[in-house]
């Protein structure tokens, strides 16, 4: 199976916390990191009276079930001392599963309250779609091209997503100040 993960942080050492995700996943035998986007700076979504987020997208291949992968993401959040005090509130680390595809490339769906697939809000979030599009220009979400979903977003939301640095250590590129243009 393949999974797209969206990771974000707006508390503490944001970049260091984001980098723990691919490092931790890469150390596992049952998860292989296929691609990692650059890190993007974005305004908060939902609850706007909080600090700027850093976000990135990861593409992984895994032998884990979607629920097992969710638990791994939650363990990483717990290691970062995430507390869920307010919906869409500040967080040290957020690891969301955006979508999962099986070996044939078919997108899995789930209405389980523990894990809804595909992620129910991904369609409307530039900070999820733009980093994902960087690592997979042909990406699809619920039979729609991610590039089309990005084009349909409010231009102000797209312009508020800034590429900053590379997620991997040693391969960082500073590009702050250049909004995503598509």
Residues, the chain, total? Answer: 182
Q: Which of 81, 83, 171, 173 is catalytic?
A: 81
Q: Give the three-class secondary structure for 110.
A: strand
Q: Three-class SS of residue 130?
A: helix
- Active-site annotation holds for 96: yes
DSSP string of 62-79?
ESS-HHHHHHHHHHHHHH
Of the residues 14, 19, 82, 94, only one is catalytic, namely 94
136 is catalytic: no
Task: Check 14, 19, 82, 91 and give the catalytic one.
Answer: 91
Give which of 14, 6, 107, 18 is closest to 60, Cα–Cα.
Answer: 6
> Residue 2: enclosing H or E segment and its boundaries?
strand 2-9
94 included as an active-site residue: yes
Among 82, 96, 125, 158, which one carries the catalytic annotation? 96
Q: What is the DSSP letter of 81?
A: T
**81 included as an active-site residue:** yes
* Residues catalogued as catalytic: 81, 91, 94, 96
């Amino acid at each position: 199976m393949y999974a797209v993960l969206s990771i974000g942080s707006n508390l503490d050492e944001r970049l260091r916390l984001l980098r723990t995700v691919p490092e931790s996943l890469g150390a596992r035998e049952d998860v292989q990191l296929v691609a990692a986007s650059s890190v993007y700076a974005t305004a908060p979504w939902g609850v706007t009276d909080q600090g700027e987020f850093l976000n990135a997208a990861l593409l992984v291949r895994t032998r884990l079930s979607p629920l097992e992968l969710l638990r791994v993401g939650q363990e990483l959040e717990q290691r970062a001392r995430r507390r869920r005090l307010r919906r869409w509130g500040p967080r040290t680390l957020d690891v969301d599963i955006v979508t999962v595809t099986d070996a044939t490339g078919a997108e899995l769906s789930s209405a389980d309250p523990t894990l809804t697939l595909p992620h129910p809000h991904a369609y409307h979030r530039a900070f999820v779609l733009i980093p994902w599009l960087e690592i997979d220009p042909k990406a699809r979400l619920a039979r729609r091209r991610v590039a089309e979903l990005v084009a349909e977003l409010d231009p102000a939301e797209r312009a508020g997503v800034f590429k900053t640095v590379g997620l991997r250590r040693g391969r960082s590129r500073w590009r702050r100040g250049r909004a995503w243009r598509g």
